[in-house]
Amino acid sequence: MRIIIFGPPGAGKGTQAKLISEEYGIPHLSTGEIFRSAIKNGTPLGKEVKSILDAGDLVPDEKVVGLVEEELKDERYGDGYILDGFPRTVPQAEAFDDILDKKGKTLDAFLQLEVPQHELVDRILTRGEGRSDDTPEKIKNRLAVYRQETEPVLNYYKKQDVVKHIDGVGSIEEIFGRIKKTLNNI
């Protein structure tokens, strides 16, 4: 099963992706985790990404696509995966379609976690990751960037008839129950 989990910052993508990974036995590929690890380890990629994220902006498409394409070459992704944090722009989605086409694969589901903005801001401020852009002003900028650059990805996948809308409000278990019900009907 090849799945994209999608939604604004604070929607719970990482939390739910880990649960999906465990439940369905597929690896979880998080571009955010790859970037955070690079930042923590002070790698050249980490330093470059940190300055971009500190400004509340998105990492350039070509850098993200190259990173994901390289990672997906690992044989552990052969039977499926859940992508978290990718694609974030229409050019990334188009590049991902090319990656799938080269392998003769298709996307099984695009899970859209839907959460009201006030809930997103509260979640981000209380999740305690300690990101340098977790301030009310920077969060609003990240949500604006999401709406402007990332939301069009939803419309791109609607044309492929793979979008599954998931109510992202409630307990982690309630949300995961909705996701399982959706995935079990694919």
**Residues involved in catalysis:** 13, 88, 127, 131, 142
What backbone torsions phi and psi does residue 164 show, to the nearest 5 degrees?
A: -125, 115
* 65 Cβ contact partners less than 8 Å away, ≥ 6 residues apart: 91, 92, 95, 96
C-alpha 82/C-alpha 14 separation (Å) is 10
C-alpha 6/C-alpha 68 separation (Å) is 16
| Residue that the structure tokens 């301030």 belong to | 135
Cis peptide before 87 (omega within 30 of 0): yes
What backbone torsions phi and psi does residue 19 show, to the nearest 5 degrees?
A: -65, -40
Token representation of residue 167: 């109510």
Contact 89, 149 (CB under 8 A): yes
Report how far apart, in Å, the C-alpha atoms of 1 and of each of 84, 133, 147, 183 are. Answer: 14, 33, 28, 9
